Chain A
Amino acid sequence: MKLTVDERWDLIDKITKQVVKYGEYKYTLKDAIAELTVKPLTGIPIAIAVLYGFWAFFGAFAGFFTDGFFVKLFDNHWLPWLQGVFPGKGGWLYYIFVGDPKADNCFEAFGVLTSGLFVAIGVVLPAIIAFYLFLIILEDSGYLPRLAVLIDTVLHKIGLHGFAVVPMILSLGCNVPAVVATRTLETKKQRFMMATLLAIFIPCGAQLGIMLEVIPEYVGLVMIYLLAGFFIFGFILNKLIPGRSPEILLDIPPYQMPIARNVRRKLWARVKSFFTVAVPFVLLGVVIVNIMYLTGFLDWLANLLEPILCGWFGVPKETVGPLIAAFLRKDLAVAQLSAIEMTTYQLVTSVVLVSLYFPCVATFAMLIKEGREEGLKGVLQYLFGSLLALITVVFLWGGLVHLIWIILGVA
């Protein structure tokens, strides 16, 4: 026998009346905190305070390890030693692995074993540890869903209900699981929109981390551009794409003390995947860019793209190298950008461009995979849809950023 929906609820009612006893409800400190963090009047200042705490903790932690330890280790010991012992100074192998023989710091050397290793281990590793540690604690304590409720109102305006915040926040860690998490959205329209938007606009943990390290003073500006782009293009996509965006109620989990074991395990999983997945890509990125440079391909491409890069976006043509590296790893690209002589405007714009212009290889593969779940048509839709959205966004948004700065008189 199968019950109807109503019969089932009726039965549940009967059962719970017999087995559940509700004692007097005590208003606890947890409830008070829960309320304060969700109500806009107190919630928004608290959110700002939490983000500020995040930023401060990050600066202290990553700064301590990178500036206090790794910079000294790499620049004073590793670089001079390697420059001395690596054979064939001036040869192409030397260039690929050690880089510029005259460099006195690992940021500007550009070799696989100098800049590549330094960026991966010295800069990104402390950054992602600090970043994920804080994120995991926010996640496990139950604060993140409350932040979601706060952002909900804004997201409604672009047709995404608050639940889309879960992929968005996951995206701050890494776009790949975030694209997968769009599965919890109900309609195809929502899934496509969210996957595309976050792949384009939301920087990943590694990229955020390195931005906070090498250009901390401009991270705010970059994020404003990206988030403004997220909302504006979200609004437009919502109007353009057929389909509906139904409501889902988001369950707010209780506040909990994060459990050390769980935090440790998640942090370890992140660090492990950083070593197995990210580091090889960073090193590969350096190799590819160096080979392109040595063969003259990079110069050729830079000259070819000069009208677009300089004319439309207003950034130097040298950014073409980092833009290629960005396809593999966004963190590497940001590090390379920071070594190029640029004005503030150019630096901010090129970092925004690096974030926008193409999702990294791993995210791109995941976008295709998600599309495949819906058949060949799905793959094509995801592929062309997101590429179309991407190109439009890069050109419009990049140009608009340029225009704003021209109007402000700084470009």
Chain B
Amino acid sequence: MGNPNVGKSAIFNRLAGAKVMESNYPGTTVDYTKGYMRLENKDIEIIDVPGTFSLEPKDKAEEVAVKMLKENKDAVIICVIDSTKLERGLYLALEIIEEGYPVIIALNMWDIAKDKNIWINIEKLENILGVPVVATVAVSGEGIKELVSKIKEASPANIERIVERAGGLEK
């Protein structure tokens, strides 16, 4: 899951080898697509959903995304985040973590962030969130192998611990 136009479909196509339309504008995917990927010799079902900014849907495409999340309680969620727009991607990721889903984060469009001179300390982010974080460039395939190898490390994280590790909240 992720915000609109962060490359969810591109990552999905990399993982499932399927043919979901990828486009460089928000709102390309308005319905979900199912596909399969091999993971440790098992076929795992993966689902590409429309982009959403939060778990409170604003339109029908976002509703589809949230509904898919709620219907698949046992799913591992790959949160795709546009590395140049980390904050709002994290918002959705945190919401999903709070719901108790095991999460792995793909910091996609890493190349563009590099161009823009934005540097994200992946290790530190992993430590604070307690979930695996991988830098990816979905359109070229960079980081996808690492993403696949770390899917099994995805685990539910405790939001209170995250708050603690981040240094507490303002009162």
Binding site for B on A (CB under 8 A): 1-3, 7-16, 18-26, 28, 30, 139-142, 144-145, 148, 163, 166, 180-181, 183-186, 191, 248, 250-251, 253-254, 256, 259, 262, 265-266, 269, 373
Contacts and interface: CB of A to CB of B under 8 A. Distances in A.
B27 A16 contact: no
Main SS at interface, chain A: helix
A362 to B, nearest CB: 17
Contacts of B118: 20-23
Contact of A265 (B4, B19, B84, B90): B19
Nearest to B113: A20
B72 interface: no
Interface string B84-108: 1011001100110010000000000
A10 B117 contact: no
Sorting the interface of chain B by its residue count into under 10, 10 to 19, 20 to 34 or 35 or more gives 35 or more
Contact of A266 (B21, B94, B116, B159): B21
25 contacts: A1-B159, A1-B160, A2-B98, A9-B91, A10-B169, A11-B163, A12-B87, A18-B128, A19-B128, A23-B119, A25-B116, A140-B22, A140-B23, A163-B27, A180-B31, A183-B60, A183-B61, A183-B64, A191-B60, A248-B58, A253-B26, A254-B84, A256-B24, A256-B139, A266-B22
B91 to A, nearest CB: 6
Contacts, number: 133
Interface in B63-97: 64, 84, 86-87, 90-91, 94-95
A320 B26 CA distance: 41
A186 B26 contact: no
B154 interface: no
Nearest to B27: A184
B136 interface: no
Contact of B60 (A1, A13, A373): A373
B60 A23 contact: no
A11 to B, nearest CB: 6
Contact of A12 (B30, B94, B120): B94
A303 to B, nearest CB: 46
Interface string B16-45: 000101111111001100000000000000
Contacts of A16: 86-87, 90
A22 to B, nearest CB: 6
B169 A26 contact: no
Given A19-B128, A256-B139, 14 more contacts: A3-B94, A12-B90, A12-B91, A14-B167, A15-B129, A21-B118, A26-B117, A181-B27, A183-B61, A183-B64, A185-B59, A251-B4, A253-B24, A269-B21
